[in-house]
Amino acid sequence: MEKKVTKIGVLTSGGDAPGMNAAIRAVVRTGIYNGLEVYGIFRGYAGMVDGEILKLESKSVGNIIQRGGTILKTSRSKEFLDREGREKAYNNLKKHGINGLVIIGGDGSFRGAHALSSEYDIPCIGLPGTIDKDIAGTDFTIGFDTAVNTAVEAIDKIRDTADAHDRLFIIEVMGRDSGYIALHSGIATGAENILIPEKRTDIENIIFTLDEKHRRKKLVNLIVVAEGDEFGGANEVAKIIKERMPEQEVRVCILGHIQRGGSPSCFDRLIASRMGYAAIECLLEGRHNVFVGIVNNRMHYIPLKEAVKKKQRISEEWMKIVKILST
């Protein structure tokens, strides 16, 4: 007989992402609305191992929907990677009578949830919270929209100064080994080149085009580089171009962690709220070990193990668009 979920734990794990607070709020309020007790687990899996667990009320999540970061803090827990660490964590959950979990994080966090729920009879529901949008099975992850808008704002500012000085700027954005932030922010800012891990970087072709543009006096160029690009990032690309085109003024800008913070966009607040609500529906329907995804604006539930196995890949269509729009 399926065990009824009565007390749930919620945590944020891995890199934080704008909108995580909106998701926490939706999980807590939907849980309480359905008569469940909800516990906050602090600092992700590390807090579960150390027993940092606190009961949450509806007012605990007041005035946070607009805040970046996560009120539950987060971590990348090495201890949880071990079976002993997971046993300690599970015993802490049992101490509080927690019999359902909502994990907000990326594929690494889903890997942890999959391991825990394979070893112990505790239903885990994942919410895709990462700025990288690298989780297969969902069109959007919580935080991606905000991170891309932060990058677009920064790149627009850089274009102003590049234009003022007739310079080439090479701008590096986050994404781990995914090129989505570079792709979306590069297209949205009219970048002349977009370098992503999913597409081999042809530096000879880049230099040839820059040279050709230089001759046409088109001196203002922006190249957006994903940090995971096989060429090694903005500094590596700049080094080669400076060697080969000493006449070209080159500057590098690495956007870094500003992409992780900031008030979440309306879009991120909405998907986080919908996903938080859906996570509770999942637990109440007795679903196990799935994550909530959005495809064509519809919610659906994908086995956690799928997120562990596959990465979200960039389509050929986007590649073609990049090629055409950045010539």
Residues marked active site are found at: 132
Which of these ranges, 127-135, 213-221, 281-289, 314-322, lies near ligand F6P under the rule CB under 6 A? Answer: 127-135
Residue 67 near ligand F6P by CB under 6 A: no
Exactly one of 130, 146, 149, 248 binds ligand F6P (CB under 6 A); that residue is: 130
Classify residue 36 by its DSSP letter.
-
Nearer to ligand F6P, 31 or 126 (CB): 126
* Local structure of 254: helix, strand or coil: strand
Nearer to ligand F6P, 18 or 106 (CB): 106
User: Which residues between 244 and 273 bind ligand F6P (CB under 6 A)?
Assistant: 260
The least distance separating ligand F6P from the CB of residue 226, rounded to whole angstroms, comes to: 9
Compose the 7-26 pattern: x for residues touching ligand F6P by CB under 6 A, - for all others: --------x-----------
**Minimum CB separation from ligand F6P for residue 176, in Å?**
4
Euclidean distance between CA atoms 286 and 274, whole angstroms: 19
Angle between helical axes of 144-165 and 180-188 (0-180°, round to 10): 50
Which of 294, 253, 107 lies closest to 171, judged by CA?
253
Buried b (16+ CB within 10 A) or exposed e, 187-212: bebebbbbbbbbbebeeeebbebbee
Query: Counting contacts by CB under 6 A, is residue 132 touching ligand F6P?
Result: yes
Segment lying near ligand F6P (by CB under 6 A), choices 109-117, 125-133, 284-292, 297-305 = 125-133
* Residue 129 neighbours by CB distance under 10 Å: 31
Q: Considering the complex, what minimum distance in angstroms separates the CB of residue 180 from ligand F6P?
A: 10
Site string for ligand F6P, 157-176 (x = CB under 6 A): -----------------xxx
**Beta pairing class for 221-226 and 124-128:** unpaired
Least Cα distance to 291 among 168, 140, 148 occurs for 140
Cα angle 31, 37, 41; round to 5: 90
**Selected range binding ligand F6P among 25-33, 124-132, 215-223, 310-318, rule: CB under 6 A:** 124-132
- Residues that bind ligand F6P (rule: CB under 6 A) add up to a total of 10
> Tell me, what amino acid is at 240?
I
Q: Which residues in this chain contact ligand F6P in the complex, by CB under 6 A? A: 15, 106, 130-132, 174-176, 227, 260
